[in-house]
Amino acid sequence: MTSLKRRLFAILVAATGIIWLVAGAWIYVSSRSELEHVLDTRLQEAAKMVHSLVDGRNLPTANDATGPTLLLPEPSAYERQLSCQIWSLDGHLVARSTGAPAVQLADNVDGYSDRVVAGESWRVYAIEDPVKRVRVMVGDRIGLRQKLVNDLIIGLLAPALLMLPVLGALIWISLGRGLRPLRDMAEDLQQRDAEDMRPLDAGKLPTELRPLAKALNALFDKVEAARRHEREITAFAAHELRTPLAGLKTQTQIARAASDPAVRDHALSQILISVDRTTRLVRQLLALTKLEAESPVVRSASHKAADLLAEIVSTGPPAANIRVEIDPALAEVRLPGPREIWMLALRNVHENAIQHMPDGGVVAWRPTLGATGLMVIDQGPGIPDEELDLVTQRFYRGRNRSPSGTGLGLTIVAIAAQRLGVELELKNRTDRTGLQVAFIIARP
């Protein structure tokens, strides 16, 4: 059920109904046993009273033409309940009350018994007196007893049943009142615009709503942080894209305005370089956005490091005068996780190394110690120690920047490593200038 109010209402009404039913049943059972006890006692008392009034000496005999004497005046309604018979011990009906059947009500000797006489159930108390030579029987119609019990119960339950709709209405109204803070909160949230991330005032809310408000506030914080992050990235990206665009525009205007073919050719070649660089920047921005949007990966397949590196080297831009060495031992290093993320990470590290290489340099890929990962070692200028922690930030381009760098390469590498669950380690070489970038894979 989607409505909390209706749900609560149903629960409360059902619970109340069940309680009333149980109470009703209880009242029914206990009233009935109590009533039976009272009626039984009355039977006994009536029997004793009749017995004490009977004079044994002048009992009419079975041969009396008068027949049995009518003991009591004609009663009506409930009054007709009790029936009395007096039998002689030799089996003659001496006397009976009005409405009492002519058939013997009980055949037992003494005490209470239930019996069906002429299609009717009877409760009978019998006293046998050997001295007076009579048997006195007083009986109740059980049907009448039942009617008495039923009337009693109906008398008790009818007002309760009539009150049920009133109670339901009261419950409904109270629920509306009780749930008001929830509605107020919903209205407050409804009236907000998309930008409004102010926290809800948990202090003003009832205790039950506070966890909800706190959870909502935590969510607001997260959404706000994510949005701020996004805004910063967008601003940064816009900023980083504007400079190459300004370069493109300027060079284009020069190409149009220049009358000297040499100047025009130079401008056109600059435009080409700039378009390539801007393309790379956009590609990296898209790769970064995609990488950030992906959920953390489950380690599934694993890939041979040597295979991925061979592909990167063969498909990458040709690097004149730079030698790339791939240690054959890398064939044994397995890289767990999605292939495309590994390719992205390795390619960016590789391009970063190539970009910073002097002519004739060597970029070397090797397994890390213990072969739990892989690393690349270059002979470039390295990264100043104080910048090592900064170079993985977006668009950070340190002092030893390469002219074609975008400031995103190592950011992509760092995020990819995080997604892959491997440790990225950047450090300068100690034997000479150069950077060493290692991916350390924790053993499963």
Partner 1 sequence: MRVLVVEDDPILLDGIKVGLALGGVTVDGVATCADARAALATSRFDAIVLDLMLPDGSGLDVLGEMRGRADATPVLLLTALDETADRILGLDSGADDYVGKPFDLDELAARVRAVARRHAGRAAPLMLAGAIALDPSTLSVTVAGEPVSLSRREFSVLAALMERPGMVRSKGEIEDRLYGWQEEVESNTVEVHIHNLRNKIGRTAIETVRGLGYRMRSAT
Looking at the Cβ atoms of 226 and 235, the one nearer to partner 1 is: 235
Position 387 contacts partner 1 (CB under 8 A): no
Q: What would the DSSP string read from start to end of 292-308? A: HHSPPPPP--EEEHHHH
Nearest C-alpha neighbor of 80 from the set 95, 94, 66, 101: 101
Among 11, 245, 329, 390, binds partner 1 (CB under 8 A): 245
Stretch that binds partner 1, among 79-87, 151-159, 239-247, 354-362 (CB under 8 A): 239-247
401 binds partner 1 (CB under 8 A): yes
Beta-strand relationship, 111-117 and 134-141: unpaired
- 388 forms part of the interface with partner 1 (CB under 8 A): no
433 lies in the binding site for partner 1 (CB under 8 A): no
Residue 342's identity, in one-letter code, is W
**From 103, 225, 238, 442, residue interacting with partner 1 (rule: CB under 8 A):** 238
State which residue, 177 or 399, has the beta carbon closest to partner 1.
Answer: 399
390 touches partner 1 by CB under 8 A: no
For residue 124, list its beta bridge partners: 113, 139
Dihedral, CA of residue 248, residue 251, residue 252 and residue 253, to nearest 10: 130
- Site for partner 1 (CB under 8 A): which residue of 180, 239, 283, 323? 239
253 binds partner 1 (CB under 8 A): yes
H/E element holding 336?
strand 334-336
Q: Do 277 and 402 touch, CB atoms closer than 8 A?
A: no
Residue 322 backbone class (left: φ over 0; alpha: ψ -120 to 50; beta: rest)? beta
Q: How far is the CB of 382 from partner 1 (least distance, A)?
A: 16
Backbone φ and ψ of 63, nearest 5°: -85, -10
The least CB distance from residue 274 to partner 1, in Å, is: 5
Binding residue for partner 1, selected from 80, 92, 133, 266, defined by CB under 8 A:
266
- Residue 443, classed as helix, strand or coil, is coil
**Which of 92, 210, 397, 427 lies at the binding interface for partner 1 (CB under 8 A)?**
397
411 binds partner 1 (CB under 8 A): no
Stretch that binds partner 1, among 19-27, 180-188, 267-275, 293-301 (CB under 8 A): 267-275
Distance CA(67)–CA(92), nearest Å, equals 10
Task: Pick out residues in 280-299 that bind partner 1 (CB under 8 A).
Answer: none
**177 near partner 1 (CB under 8 A):** no
Provide, rounded to whole angstroms, the least separation between the CB of residue 222 and partner 1.
26
Contact, 105 vs 123, CB < 8 A?
Answer: no
Measured from the CB atom, the residue of 39 and 408 that comes closer to partner 1 is 408
CB count, 10 Å around CB of 18?
10
403 binds partner 1 (CB under 8 A): yes
SS3 at position 124:
strand
376's CB contacts (< 8 A; 6+ apart) are 349, 350, 353, 363, 364, 365, 366, 436, 437
Count of residues making up the chain = 444
Interface positions with partner 1 (CB under 8 A): 238-240, 242-251, 253-254, 257-258, 263, 266-267, 270, 273-274, 277, 397-399, 401, 403
